Amino acid sequence: MKEYRVQYERDEGGWWVATVTEVPGCHTQGRTLAESRRRIRDALSLFVPDAHSADLVEEISLPPVIRKALQDAATGRQEAKAVRERATEQLTRSARLLVDDMGLSRRDTAEILGISHQRVQQLVAG
């Protein structure tokens, strides 16, 4: 399957301009990024026969300050995921200790942990 690079940029009017960099003259635009994405394959089909099966590798041009903010957001999401996973491990350990070691009911365990008894069931069963 042929691969084509597609560059997306916003113009002065706020439109997204999509350009297939390897195919001179192949470009389109859309009010939204999604619209531009839909249209670029049709534009490419005017130039090459395999446009609808081709793999499009996208690059969205954004200012450096925006790229940095996006990288920071991605890092923050990864860190939050790690914290959630650790919290779930600790909650599971606590639920199992309360239910298995202390012999508490799932409802009492739920009340102590501040979660639903259904969640306690999930934690101790898993």
Query: Per-residue pLDDT tens for 1-48?
Result: 899 999 999 999 999 999 999 999 999 999 999 999 999 999 999 999
Choosing among 3.40.718.10, 3.30.2390.10, 2.60.40.10, 1.10.580.10, the CATH entry for 3-61 is 3.30.2390.10
Judge whether 98 and 104 are in contact, CB under 8 Å: yes
| Structure tokens belonging to residue 72 | 């920071």
Residue 40 amino acid letter: I
- The domains of the chain are located at 3-61, 66-125
Here the contacts of 68-77 (C-beta below 8 Å, separation 24 or greater) are none
Given a cut of 90, whether residue 126 has pLDDT beyond it is no
Model pLDDT, residue 1: 80
Residues 102-122, mean pLDDT to the nearest whole number: 97
pLDDT tens for each residue of 52-84: 899 999 999 999 999 999 999 999 999 999 999
